[in-house]
């Protein structure tokens, strides 16, 4: 499915600091309408006000709230007055560019190119699906949007979210709105102690599809566990990018089909297509 | 409204703004975001006789006011271009130029001969300046004899407009420009990327998979402008100027230095619609300076 790409000047409606270094940015278009976007897609954000930052930053679509849509209750919890669609981005301030994004304030303008990339494969309408969505750190961002879409199709997903400590696990109140949530932390401060791949839910559950986004090593291990259980698995990659449009060929991943652009053929890949799962 | 039409050999461009190879795909990737028919010329990604996988990831490093890349000419080969891409672009009202690369004069020539058969492609840009491949590429573009050998082989089989893209990684770019002019090149384009590198201080290793890469973006503009200036004084054939152009003022500077057209590269990554803004900006500049035609400012700073 192809979505039309846009260059948009969006206005920042709200910036919420979720925990140290993590911000949730809510964006609105001047006409109140956000273009069609799919879970797993991303936008290329221009970073103004950071002389050190030259290239745009690819950021996953965290959530898309539609005015008057089912699930609009989600908006109330975060102060959306329902006057406009909102695009949410979850940003982890790790470098000059993302730190500049984290300094944005309500009323600022943010220029984006998007939506870009392919998105996750959604189960067919009416399918008896039991999806497991496994995320780590800021990689949980696209899984919220995916959970929203699954819930809208009458599918109740299970989220398995991991972090080093409790503060790394964000947006729990929203995840719980769309499905069941299981947690792991390395220090045991929330959920089970350990990594997502060590959680007890792997012992007994019969999932029909796994989606994962987070640190590469985590995704490699999740993909391996999915393969061992014979469950299809989609992996969302975040290779370094320049254009985001398939032109510069910088973000390539080595797949069974050779080098392919993560920005256009991904960021979501069937784990079987990747040479990561050895 | 001034005339923006410009000529590169027998190639007529509706305006002097082209896209640089490897930064704009085949144009189609940008179709949702910019009106391709408003761009003077679209130089498609580097094409070789055989498909190439390019270099391993990571291929990119962001640097101060620019970026390094070491893509290494990944492409699906000239046959794929002719069969699958050409039919999609041939009816778009812009000038599509194919950037041709190779590993020997023979493979350059064979690739060029295939492109020559495509009716709507009126020019090629010969890439003798890619810094990211072991064989060919810049190896030809850094000596007069090497550059001449490729141009001679291609000229023999390619009757349409032949633009030769020069490397800045040389002691004297004017010598190379003269050498390709002597072999019958219709124009030169300059500059390709400047060889550079980035090191990750924490990991204590080079960032790029093949350690070095080509620097592009506004950081290289003064170097590029100087070279266009020098080459303008050294050869008679038209010059296409590129290197770090981000806006119309940058483009005008290249025209004033002697370029008959410009290419916009890395700026497409920051603003996918930058090309049409540069076209509009050049037009506004010409109006403001009471110029009837873009021809009036080409080389005017000399």
* Listed residue (B2, B5, B86) closest to B261, CA to CA: B5
Give me the count of residues in chain B.
302
Shared-domain flag, residues A246 and A210: no
Shared-domain flag, residues A227 and A251: no
Q: What pLDDT, on the 0 to 100 scale, is given for residue A73?
A: 44
Nearest CA in chain B to A46: B270
Residue range B218-238: mean pLDDT, rounded: 98
The DSSP secondary-structure symbol of B58 reads P
Residue range B230-237: mean pLDDT, rounded: 98
At B274, give phi and psi (nearest 5°): -60, -35
- The answer to whether residue A125 is domain-embedded is no
Residue range B3-22: mean pLDDT, rounded: 98
CB contact under 8 A, A247 and B45: yes
CB contact under 8 A, B272 and A264: no
Query: Is the CB of B290 inside 8 Å of chain A's CB atoms?
Result: no
Q: What's the CA gap between B97 and A199, in Å, rounded?
A: 56
- The answer to whether residue A228 is domain-embedded is yes
Q: Find chain B residues with C-beta within 8 A of A265's C-beta.
A: none
Q: What pLDDT, on the 0 to 100 scale, is given for residue A76?
A: 45
* Listed residue (B65, B70, B24, B52) closest to B193, CA to CA: B70
Contact at 8 Å (CB) between A171 and A146? no
Q: What is the enclosing helix (H) or strand (E) of B69?
A: strand B66-69
Range of the domain at B124: 6-297
CB contact under 8 A, A239 and B269: no
B291: three-class secondary structure by DSSP: coil
Q: What's the CA gap between B74 and B136, in Å, rounded?
A: 14
Q: Residue A276 pLDDT > 90, yes or no? A: no
CATH number of the CATH domain containing B71: 3.20.20.70
Q: For the segment B273-294, what is each residue's pLDDT rounded down to a tens digit?
A: 999 999 999 999 999 999 999 9
Q: Find chain A residues with C-beta within 8 A of B62's C-beta.
A: 53-55
- The answer to whether residue A168 is domain-embedded is yes
Q: What is the enclosing helix (H) or strand (E) of B231?
A: helix B221-234
The ipTM, to two decimals, is 0.95
CB contact under 8 A, A55 and B269: yes
Q: What is the enclosing helix (H) or strand (E) of A217?
A: helix A216-228
- The answer to whether residue A30 is domain-embedded is yes
State the total domains in chain A.
Answer: 3
Nearest CA in chain B to A47: B270
A 185-224 near B (Cβ less than 8 A):
none
Shared-domain flag, residues A206 and A228: yes
- The answer to whether residue B53 is domain-embedded is yes
- The answer to whether residue A40 is domain-embedded is yes
Q: What pLDDT, on the 0 to 100 scale, is given for residue A79?
A: 57
Compute the radius of gyration of chain B from its Cα atoms: 18
Q: What pLDDT, on the 0 to 100 scale, is given for residue A277?
A: 57
Q: What pLDDT, on the 0 to 100 scale, is given for residue A68?
A: 67
Q: Find chain A residues with C-beta within 8 A of B269's C-beta.
A: 55-56, 242-244, 247-248
- The answer to whether residue A274 is domain-embedded is yes
Query: Is the CB of A152 inside 8 Å of chain B's CB atoms?
Result: no
Shared-domain flag, residues A102 and A20: yes
Which of A203, A218, A236 terminates a domain? The answer is A236
Those residues whose C-beta lies under 8 Å from the C-beta of residue A231, and which sit 6 or more positions away, are A132, A207, A208, A209, A210
CB contact under 8 A, B269 and A248: yes
Q: For the segment B80-122, what is each residue's pLDDT rounded down to a tens digit?
A: 999 999 999 999 999 999 999 999 999 999 999 999 999 999 9
How close A264 comes to chain B (CA, Å)? Answer: 9
What is the percent of chain B with per-residue pLDDT over 90, rounded to a whole number? Answer: 96
- The answer to whether residue B266 is domain-embedded is yes
B 157-216 near A (Cβ less than 8 A):
none
Shared-domain flag, residues A249 and A220: no
Q: Find chain B residues with C-beta within 8 A of A246's C-beta.
A: 25, 29
Confidence of residue B135 (pLDDT cuts 50, 70, 90): confident
Planar angle of CA A109, A110, A113, nearest 5 degrees? 145
Q: For the segment B112-128, what is each residue's pLDDT rounded down to a tens digit?
A: 999 999 999 999 999 99
Residue range A201-213: mean pLDDT, rounded: 92
Those residues whose C-beta lies under 8 Å from the C-beta of residue B191, and which sit 6 or more positions away, are B129, B166, B167, B168, B173, B220, B223, B224, B227, B242, B243
- The answer to whether residue B139 is domain-embedded is yes
Judged on CB neighbours under 10 Å (0-12, 13-18, 19+), B147 is: buried
Four-residue CA torsion sign, B67, B73, B76, B81? positive
Nearest CA in chain A to B63: A54
Which residue among A6, A52, A249 places its CB closest to the CB of B54?
A249
Shared-domain flag, residues A97 and A196: no
Q: What is the DSSP string of B91-155?
A: TSSSEEEEEE--SSHHHHHHHHHHHHT-TT--EEEEE---TT-SSSTHHHHTSHHHHHHHHHHHH
Q: What's the CA gap between B18 and B21, in Å, rounded?
A: 9
Which residue among B45, B65, B71 places its CB closest to the CB of A54?
B65
Q: Residue B226 pLDDT > 60, yes or no? A: yes
Q: For the segment B138-184, what is each residue's pLDDT rounded down to a tens digit?
A: 889 999 999 999 999 999 999 999 999 999 999 999 999 999 999 99
CB contact under 8 A, B29 and A247: yes
Q: What pLDDT, on the 0 to 100 scale, is given for residue B138?
A: 83
What is the percent of chain B with per-residue pLDDT over 70, rounded to a whole number? Answer: 100
Cα distance between the two ends of chain B: 25
- The answer to whether residue B1 is domain-embedded is no
Shared-domain flag, residues A17 and A102: yes
- The answer to whether residue B302 is domain-embedded is no
Q: What's the CA gap between A118 and A1, in Å, rounded?
A: 8
Maximum C-alpha span of chain A: 52
Residues forming a β-bridge with A6: A114
Q: What's the CA gap between A98 and A238, in Å, rounded?
A: 14
Contact at 8 Å (CB) between B214 and B61? no
B89: three-class secondary structure by DSSP: helix
Mean pLDDT, chain B, rounded, equals 97
CATH number of the CATH domain containing A18: 2.40.30.10
Contact at 8 Å (CB) between A179 and A158? yes
Range of the domain at A169: 131-236
Confidence of residue A1 (pLDDT cuts 50, 70, 90): low
Q: Find chain B residues with C-beta within 8 A of A254's C-beta.
A: 56-57
Q: What is the enclosing helix (H) or strand (E) of A163?
A: strand A158-163
CATH number of the CATH domain containing A252: 2.10.240.10
Shared-domain flag, residues A218 and A251: no
At B99, give phi and psi (nearest 5°): -85, 120
Q: Residue A63 pLDDT > 60, yes or no? A: yes
Q: Residue A60 pLDDT > 80, yes or no? A: yes
Give me the count of residues in chain A.
278
Q: What's the CA gap between B278 and A125, in Å, rounded?
A: 47
Q: What is the enclosing helix (H) or strand (E) of A268?
A: strand A268-270
Query: Is the CB of B59 inside 8 Å of chain A's CB atoms?
Result: yes
State the total domains in chain B.
Answer: 1
- The answer to whether residue B174 is domain-embedded is yes
CATH number of the CATH domain containing A205: 3.40.50.80
Residues forming a β-bridge with A64: A87
Q: For the segment B189-214, what is each residue's pLDDT rounded down to a tens digit?
A: 999 999 999 999 999 999 999 999 99
* Listed residue (B39, B116, B108, B53) closest to B82, CA to CA: B116
CB contact under 8 A, B53 and A253: no
Q: For the segment A103-146, what is each residue's pLDDT rounded down to a tens digit?
A: 999 999 999 999 999 999 999 877 789 999 999 999 999 999 99
Across the beta sheet with A109-116, the strand order is A57-60, A42-45, A109-116, A6-19, A22-28, A86-92, A63-65
CB contact under 8 A, A259 and B54: yes
Question: β-pairing, A192-193 with A180-185?
Answer: parallel
Following CA atoms B213, B217, B221, B223 in sequence, which dihedral angle do they give, to the nearest 10 degrees?
-10
Q: Residue A75 pLDDT > 50, yes or no? A: no
Shared-domain flag, residues A277 and A231: no
User: Contacts for A49-53 with beta carbons within 8 Å, 24 or more apart?
Assistant: A49/A100, A49/A103, A50/A96, A50/A97, A50/A99, A50/A100, A52/A96, A52/A97, A52/B64, A53/A96, A53/A97, A53/A100, A53/B62
Q: Which residues of B are catalytic?
A: 130
Q: Find chain A residues with C-beta within 8 A of B273's C-beta.
A: 7
CB contact under 8 A, A249 and B24: no
Contact at 8 Å (CB) between A119 and A41? yes
Query: Is the CB of A242 inside 8 Å of chain B's CB atoms?
Result: yes
- The answer to whether residue A124 is domain-embedded is no
Q: What pLDDT, on the 0 to 100 scale, is given for residue A78?
A: 54
């Amino acid at each position: 499915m192809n979505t039309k790409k846009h260059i948009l000047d969006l206005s920042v409606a709200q910036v919420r600091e979720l925990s140290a270094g993590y911000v949730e940015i809510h964006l609105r278009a001047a006409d109140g309408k956000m273009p069609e976007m799919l879970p797993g897609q991303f936008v290329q954000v221009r970073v103004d006000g950071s002389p050190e930052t030259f290239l745009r930053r690819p950021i996953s679509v965290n959530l898309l709230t539609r005015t008057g849509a089912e699930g609009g209750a989600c908006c109330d919890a975060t102060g959306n007055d329902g006057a406009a669609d909102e695009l949410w981005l979850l940003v982890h301030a790790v470098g000059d560019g993302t730190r500049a994004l984290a300094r944005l304030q309500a009323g600022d303008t943010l220029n984006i190119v998007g939506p870009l990339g392919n998105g996750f494969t959604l189960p067919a309408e009416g399918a008896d699906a039991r999806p497991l969505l496994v995320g780590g750190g800021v990689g949980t961002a696209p899984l919220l949007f995916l959970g929203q879409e699954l819930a809208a199709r009458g599918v109740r997903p299970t989220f398995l979210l991991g972090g080093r400590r409790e503060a790394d696990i964000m947006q729990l109140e929203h995840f719980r709105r769309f499905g069941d949530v299981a947690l792991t932390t390395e220090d045991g401060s929330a959920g089970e102690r350990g990594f997502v791949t060590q959680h007890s839910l792997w012992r007994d559950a019969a999932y029909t599809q796994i989606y994962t986004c987070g640190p590469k090593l985590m995704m490699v291990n999740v993909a391996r566990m999915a393969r061992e259980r014979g469950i299809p698995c989609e992996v969302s990659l975040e290779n370094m990018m320049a254009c985001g449009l398939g032109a510069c060929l910088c973000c390539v991943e080595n797949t069974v089909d050779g080098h392919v652009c993560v920005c256009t053929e991904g960021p979501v890949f069937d784990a079987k297509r990747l040479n990561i799962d050895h | 409204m001034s005339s923006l039409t410009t000529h590169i050999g027998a190639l007529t461009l509706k305006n002097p703004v082209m896209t640089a190879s490897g930064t704009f795909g085949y144009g189609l990737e940008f179709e949702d975001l910019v009106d391709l028919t408003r761009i003077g010329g679209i130089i498609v990604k580097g094409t070789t006789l055989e498909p190439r996988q390019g270099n391993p990831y990571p291929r990119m490093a962001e640097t101060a006011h620019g970026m390094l890349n070491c893509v290494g000419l990944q492409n699906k080969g000239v046959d794929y271009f002719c069969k699958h891409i050409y039919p999609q672009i041939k009816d778009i009202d812009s000038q599509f130029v194919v950037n041709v690369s190779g590993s020997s004069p023979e493979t350059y020539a064979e690739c060029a001969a295939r492109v020559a058969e495509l009716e709507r492609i009126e020019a090629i840009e010969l890439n003798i300046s890619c810094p990211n491949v072991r064989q060919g590429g810049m190896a030809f573009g850094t000596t007069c004899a090497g550059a001449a050998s490729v141009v001679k082989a291609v000229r023999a089989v390619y009757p349409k407009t032949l633009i030769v893209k020069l490397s800045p990684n040389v002691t004297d770019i004017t010598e190379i420009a003269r050498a390709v002019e002597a072999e019958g090149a219709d124009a030169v384009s300059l500059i390709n990327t400047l060889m550079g590198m980035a090191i990750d201080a924490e990991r204590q290793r080079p960032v790029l998979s093949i350690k070095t890469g080509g620097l592009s973006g506004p950081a290289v503009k003064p170097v590029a402008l100087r070279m266009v200036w020098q080459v303008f004084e050294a050869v008679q054939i038209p010059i296409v100027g590129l290197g770090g152009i981000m806006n119309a003022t940058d483009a005008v500077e290249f025209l004033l230095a002697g370029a008959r057209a410009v290419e916009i590269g890395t700026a497409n990554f920051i603003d996918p619609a930058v090309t049409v803004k540069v076209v509009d900006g050049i037009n506004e500049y010409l109006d403001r300076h009471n110029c009837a035609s873009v021809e009036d400012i080409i080389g005017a700073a000399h």
